[in-house]
Amino acid sequence: MVQYSPTDRTFAALADPTRRGVLERLGRRSATISELAEPFGISLTGMKKHVRVLEDAELVTTEKVGRARRCSLGRRRLDEIEDWIESYRRMLDERLDRFGELLERNETREGSQG
Amino acid sequence: MVQYSPTDRTFAALADPTRRGVLERLGRRSATISELAEPFGISLTGMKKHVRVLEDAELVTTEKVGRARRCSLGRRRLDEIEDWIESYRRMLDERLDRFGELLERNETREGSQG
């Protein structure tokens, strides 16, 4: 069975515009499932599914309050995925540098041959 | 029908450790599907599927060379998702600032009451 890491779950949770919108919305204030569903024009069932994915990724926490379920931003931040993106970008930059050096070396060689 | 944006596709493509590994591997040098499959210990069919997801997200390009398919890093960078993460982080920071101000104001009030 595939085990999903926090990094996998965070990337997957963010791969949907409604879920990204929910995080932005909860960044302003906590909200019930129906308060979240309305502006997105989706069903309660649909929003429950999205919130569940965000909850599994620990990006959102929920709490039963009376008959409603109140959602807030969870404790997990985006550090893991930022770290991955940062190290990938560094690798790409180093690659560009090596490519640049290669070009320079070739130009020098061509210059000395000309 | 759901339309996936480049941001959606990039986040989804990165939500798998094998696909992130393939990007890191291709950052060093281009490789055929079988050269990619071997170190990950997965089947050619499995690797083809992963490469297809990366190709759809424009993170990887492939080219038929003889009987093999050579994969390289594509032209898309991670800018869109970095932008989203950056603006989300900014929002969280502002939120923390507001929370800090609220705490300070309460402390001042409690201080003046003490």
B92 inside 8 A of chain A by CB: yes
Closest CA to A13 of B38, B8, B31: B8
Neighbours of A20 (CB within 10 A): 19
Neighbours of B4 (CB within 10 A): 15
Q: Which of B5, B27, B84 sits opposite A92 (nearest CB)?
A: B27
Cite the beta strand spans of B1-114 per DSSP E.
31-32, 60-65, 68-73
B7 inside 8 A of chain A by CB: yes
Digit-coded pLDDT (tens) for B27-65: 989 999 999 999 999 999 999 999 999 999 999 999 999
Question: Is the Cβ–Cβ distance between A54 and A19 less than 8 Å?
Answer: yes
Closest CA to A7 of B96, B54, A15: A15
Q: Which residues of chain A have pLDDT under 50?
A: 114
B44 inside 8 A of chain A by CB: no
Q: Which residues of A touch B7 (CB under 8 A)?
A: 17, 20
Q: Which residues of A touch B82 (CB under 8 A)?
A: 85
pTM of the predicted protein model: 0.84
The average pLDDT across B98-113 equals 76
The average pLDDT across B90-110 equals 80
DSSP B4: P
Phi, psi of B2 (to 5 degrees): -70, 130
* Contact between chains at B8 and A16 (C-beta distance less than 8 A): yes
Which tokens is A60 given?
Answer: 């959102």
What's the confidence (pLDDT) of residue B24? 94
Digit-coded pLDDT (tens) for B6-34: 999 999 999 999 999 999 999 989 999 99
B65 inside 8 A of chain A by CB: no
Q: Which residues of B touch A76 (CB under 8 A)?
A: none
Question: Is the Cβ–Cβ distance between B55 and B61 less than 8 Å?
Answer: yes
